[in-house]
Amino acid sequence: MRFVLGALVVLFNLADNATTFWCLRERVEGFEIVEANPVARVLFETVGLVQGLTFEMLITTAAIVFLVLTTRISSRLRMFLLIVLALLPAWAALNNLMVMRAVGLPVPL
């Protein structure tokens, strides 16, 4: 089960990163679209959007691999953390899609 959750975390994180990219890659006349996560916003402003998303994906993937493979954390806690790590980017991707629809950006799905 932890491998399935780990894969879901990766997929939802990819969806979040893709929709974040689509939202932030260009300005939309009449709207100010910004990254809601202040840490990610600073990262994107510092190193750039693509590099920031890549860095975030690498860190997230490393954390997922650790959680899936480690025995240093109880199974129950690992499952809880993987569920949370799956829900957060799933919610973020859904929110990004709603923003795209609201401001008239094409939704590439």
Query: Radius of gyration over alpha carbons of the chain, in Å?
Result: 15
Q: Which residue type does 55 have? A: F
- As a whole number of angstroms, the distance between CA 65 and CA 3 comes to 9
Q: Tell me if the pTM is above 0.85.
A: yes
Query: What local confidence, expressed as pLDDT, does residue 52 receive?
Result: 97
- Residue 61 CB partners (closer than 8 Å, separation 6+): 10, 13
Residue 15 pLDDT > 70: yes
Mean pLDDT (whole number) for 51-79: 95
